[in-house]
């Protein structure tokens, strides 16, 4: 059953069960209504399979929900968008010219304990999603199902839904662990009621996630890999295991009272390789055309979604909002850029408006994509004319727009400095801009319209995970095969040998703007220190190191106030806040 076709008949019951998201996210997440006859999740499910699928839909909704959270911009509260901003705008790959203080703090690595919409949204959305998953698991035990009159065949079907909920919970815990390190921790076995969750160490959360995913990947309850799009399956579990094992040294590291890393964690390269090899046995395959992976019909185009191990489903109606891929499409260009010589809109990305927000620094474009700008690529004012060259003949380097922009990003709040990256495109892969023109023109200015599904885990990442892990175990002949598969798909010549720099360069291009850049730089010791600088790193135009305690973000102050079990992260103190 395609998740985008599911309505949410017990959505209201779940809201009654948990209450709306307010200024405190976790104080009483587990509380039920006071009256026994209130409509709630205890009595909403019954013995109809569709009700349980609807309950699971609410768990999935944690990723693209824009309701119920009290922030200035509802779109910025969406989990996919918040996580993406944290992972990409804090690095060399992306800058956002919006003048929100939190946006600039992330751009320039100057965040502190001051309020930050992205980290606040990520904290609240992950914790609430985990709570919904826990409640779903409580309500779907064999005992409860039997009490409601579910027969054994239905109970077995619901076991598969429970496995999906456990994966989503594991993924949400991974997002929290990656961003915050130690996180509040609750499961379906935790004390039920108005109880503030305890903070659990990053290492313990890591172990919990690995245990859950290993059981799910090795069991029979998740659907077979590649058979359940856009819902999760066994391949999703192996894929997340691969990613987490690749970063095990980071996630299992120890820090001192100032947030400095005193020891890296255990290497788990062999485990990463084994997880990748399980995926290689599955039915996934690379999409023939890289650009098709990010087009408006990628969720219905079999050649595209055969590469996705896990994706978030967006469409123009039931999953519509101002976060996710509508953000990635509309904020990567200015409406004025996308006009013909007579000022008429072209709708080159299949949407009506451009928000003029995110763009890629020129240095990143030159270094990793290998493009060059010829003499006629600049006008008399030093602006790009729109002409650039792609000497490597890399298909991924064909997705840029730079006309009317400046090369140097001397003013981080000026959108016309840097390159627009047209990676996410709402036009279906089998339609031209002209063929989709009338559809794009019909979209309203107050309602987002975008059908691009967002890839959370895809096969090319797994190939690159494998190549990197193989480097550390001396299995380069095995790793080279998969590194070259990624290169050759985009028109590059295969390599005869490779090193870590080759993997770094390939990940920088292949996975650009997919929410993994910060994770990669931290793993390679290139994020906060002085051995790799980029423009505006650490708040300086030329780039400078910033403190190691900023490898993780601090909890929102409102949540520390609301939950006495939480404390500021090492190196963060309220006195250091730059309000």
Residues 37 and 185 in one domain: yes
Indicate whether 9 and 131 sit together in one domain. yes
- Write the CB contacts of 486 (distance below 8 Å, at least 6 apart in sequence): 286, 460, 463, 464, 506, 510
| Average pLDDT score, the chain | 90
367 in any annotated domain? yes
Query: How many beta carbons lie within 10 A of that of residue 474, not counting itself?
Result: 10
Looking at the domain assignment, is residue 577 inside a domain? yes
For residue 26, what pLDDT is reported?
44
Q: At what angle do helices 11-18 and 49-60 cross, to 10 degrees?
A: 60
Cβ neighbours of residue 18 closer than 8 Å, sequence gap 6 or more: 29, 31, 128, 131, 132, 135
More confident call, 497 vs 37: 497
Q: How confident is the model at residue 178 (pLDDT cuts 50, 70, 90)?
A: very high
Q: For the domain that residue 191 is a member of, what is the CATH number?
A: 1.25.40.390
**440 and 531 part of one domain:** no
Q: What is the pLDDT of residue 364?
A: 98
Q: Are residues 187 and 65 in the same domain?
A: yes
* Domain boundary residue, one of 452, 474, 504: 452
Clarify whether residues 448 and 523 are in a common domain.
no
- Report d(CA 536, CA 558) in Å as an integer: 29
Give domain status of residue 252, yes or no: no
pLDDT of residue 40: 60
**Please, what is the end-to-end C-alpha distance for the chain in angstroms?**
48
448 plus 535 within the same structural domain: no
Q: Tell me if 207 is assigned to some domain.
A: no
Residue 504 has pLDDT above 90, yes or no: yes
Domains identified in the chain, total number? 2
Question: For the chain, what percent of residues have pLDDT higher than 90?
Answer: 81
CB burial string 487-498: b at 16+ within 10 A, e below: bebbebeeeeeb
Do residues 150 and 33 share a domain?
yes
Q: Do residues 534 and 417 share a domain?
A: no
Give the model confidence (pLDDT) of 7-57 as tens digits.
Answer: 333 433 444 343 333 335 544 334 333 344 444 666 789 999 999 999 999
Q: Among 399, 432, 452, give the residue marking a domain's end.
A: 452
Question: What does the pLDDT read at residue 537?
Answer: 98
Based on the fold, state whether residues 522 and 436 are members of the same structural domain. no
Whether residue 428 sits in one domain with residue 352: yes
249 in a domain, yes or no? no
- Where is 199: in which H helix or E strand? strand 198-200
Indicate whether 522 and 423 sit together in one domain. no
In a domain, 171, yes or no: yes
**CA angle at residue 153 from 149 to 158, to 5 degrees?**
80
Residue 350 and residue 330 in contact, taking contact as beta carbons nearer than 8 Å: no
* One domain, residues 38 and 136: yes
Tell me the average pLDDT across 138-143: 97
Average the pLDDT over 388-408 and give the result. 97
Q: Torsion angle, CA of 493/496/502/503, rounded to 10 degrees?
A: 100
Closest to 408 (Cα-Cα) out of 542, 513, 530, 517: 542
Residue 88 domain-assigned?
yes
Taking Cα atoms as reference points, which of 332, 329, 391 lies closest to residue 359? 332
Region of residue 378 (left: phi > 0; alpha: psi -120 to 50; beta: else): beta
> For residue 63, is pLDDT > 60?
yes
Provide the 10 A C-beta neighbour count for residue 219: 12
pLDDT of the residue at 15: 40
- pLDDT of 448: 66
- Does residue 467 belong to any structural domain of this protein? no
Q: What value does the mean pLDDT take over residues 277-281?
A: 98
Radius of gyration over every alpha carbon of the chain, rounded to an integer in angstroms: 23
Domain that holds residue 350: 314-452
Domain boundary pick from 433, 452, 471: 452
Q: What is the pLDDT of residue 5?
A: 42
Q: Which has more confidence, 179 or 36?
A: 179
pLDDT in tens, 186-219: 999 987 766 788 999 999 999 999 999 999 999 9
Residue 346 has pLDDT above 80, yes or no: yes
CA distance 142 to 125: 28
**Percentage of the chain lying above the pLDDT 70 cut:** 90
Quick one: pLDDT at residue 194?
62
pLDDT of amino acid 335:
87
**SS3 state at 420:** strand
């Amino acid at each position: 059953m395609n998740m985008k076709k599911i309505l949410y008949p017990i959505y209201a019951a779940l809201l009654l069960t948990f209450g709306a998201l307010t200024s405190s996210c976790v104080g009483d997440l587990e509380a039920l209504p006071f009256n026994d006859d209130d409509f709630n999740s205890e009595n909403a499910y019954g013995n109809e399979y569709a009700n349980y699928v609807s309950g699971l839909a609410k768990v999935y909704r944690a990723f693209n929900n824009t309701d119920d959270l009290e922030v200035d911009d509802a779109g910025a509260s969406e989990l996919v968008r918040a996580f993406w901003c944290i992972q990409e705008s804090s690095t060399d790959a992306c800058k956002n010219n919006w003048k929100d203080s939190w946006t600039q703090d992330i751009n320039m690595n100057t965040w502190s304990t001051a309020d930050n919409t992205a980290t606040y949204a990520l904290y609240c959305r992950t914790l609430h999603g985990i709570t919904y998953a826990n409640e779903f698991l409580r309500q779907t035990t064999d005992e409860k199902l039997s009490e409601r009159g579910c027969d054994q065949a239905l109970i077995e079907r619901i076991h598969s839904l429970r496995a999906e909920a456990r994966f989503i919970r594991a993924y949400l815990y991974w997002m929290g662990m990656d961003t915050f390190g130690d996180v509040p921790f609750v499961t379906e076995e935790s004390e039920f009621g108005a109880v503030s969750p305890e903070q659990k160490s990053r290492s313990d959360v890591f172990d919990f996630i690995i245990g859950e995913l290993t059981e799910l990947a090795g069991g029979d309850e998740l659907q077979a890999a590649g058979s359940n799009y856009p819902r999760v399956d066994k391949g999703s579990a192996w894929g997340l295991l691969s990613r987490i094992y690749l970063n095990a040294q980071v996630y299992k590291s120890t820090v001192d009272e100032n947030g400095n890393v005193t020891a890296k964690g255990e290497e788990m390269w062999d485990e990463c390789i084994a997880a990748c090899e399980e995926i290689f046995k599955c039915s996934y395959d690379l999409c023939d055309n890289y650009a098709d992976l990010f087009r408006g019909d990628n969720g219905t185009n079999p050649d595209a979604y055969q590469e996705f191990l896990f994706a978030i489903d967006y469409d123009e109606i039931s999953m519509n909002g101002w976060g996710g891929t509508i953000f990635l499409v509309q904020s990567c260009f200015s409406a004025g850029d996308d006009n013909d010589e007579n000022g008429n809109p072209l709708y080159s990305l299949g949407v009506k408006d451009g928000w003029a927000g995110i763009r890629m620094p020129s240095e990143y474009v030159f270094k990793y994509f290998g493009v060059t700008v010829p003499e006629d690529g600049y006008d008399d004012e030093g602006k790009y004319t729109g002409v650039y060259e792609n000497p490597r003949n890399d298909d991924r380097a064909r997705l840029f727009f730079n006309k009317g922009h400046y090369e140097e990003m001397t003013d981080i709040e000026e959108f016309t400095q840097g390159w627009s990256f047209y990676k996410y495109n709402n036009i279906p892969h089998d339609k031209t801009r002209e063929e989709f023109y009338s559809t794009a023109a019909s979209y309203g200015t107050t309602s987002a319209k975008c059908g691009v599904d967002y890839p959370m885990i895809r096969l090319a990442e797994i190939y690159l995970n494998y190549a990197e892990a193989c480097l550390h175990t001396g299995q380069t002949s095995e790793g080279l095969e998969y590194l070259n598969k990624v290169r050759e798909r985009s028109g590059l010549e295969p390599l005869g040998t490779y090193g870590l720099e080759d993997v770094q360069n390939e990940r920088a291009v292949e996975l650009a703007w997919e929410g993994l850049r910060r994770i990669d730089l931290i793993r390679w010791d290139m994020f906060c220190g002085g051995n790799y600088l980029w423009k505006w790193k650490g708040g300086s135009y030329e780039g400078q190191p910033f403190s190691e305690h900023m490898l993780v973000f601090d909890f929102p102050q409102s949540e520390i106030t609301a939950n006495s079990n939480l404390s500021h992260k090492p190196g963060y103190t309220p006195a250091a806040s730059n309000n």
